[in-house]
Amino acid sequence: MLPELIVDDLAASVTFYALLGFRVAYERPAERFACLSAGDGVRLMLEQASTGDRLYPRAALEHPYGRGMNLSIDVEDTEAVHRALVAAGHEVRHPPRERWYARTDDEIGELELTVDDPDGYLLRPTQNLGTRPRRS
């Protein structure tokens, strides 16, 4: 799955996502569009809202965008991402914290934080902590 997020200010969003380790893979300036990539095959598309002939959005755009969803993003170092976000003046909802999530036979661990991007999309940059036997 390759999400495409509608944003108000493409340049501001590209700058924000660079703090999470993303870089511009390619862009279409005339369409106010950029495809970002990070790590091993992680991609995200951003498009600045317009009233042109695009097929979407079908509903009125109101902040915060992305209500009802969150995006988990694998990062190498959650603490470094946290420091970069804070240094850039972004409010972090939850600082890095260890979380373990039950699966069928085990639990997967993550060091995660939560932050809203400039358009209100909820993001969870997560660092993999491995697995452990499932606790009852």
Look at the block and give the residue holding tokens 């569009």. 33
Task: Calculate Rg over the CA atoms of the chain.
Answer: 16
As to burial, measured by CB atoms within 10 angstroms (0-12 exposed, 13-18 middle, 19+ buried), residue 30 is exposed
Report angle CA 121, 125, 127 to the nearest 5 degrees.
Answer: 165
pLDDT of 63-108, one tens digit each?
A: 888 888 899 999 999 999 999 999 999 999 999 999 999 999 999 9
CA distance linking residue 52 with residue 133, whole number of Å: 52
pTM of the model: 0.88
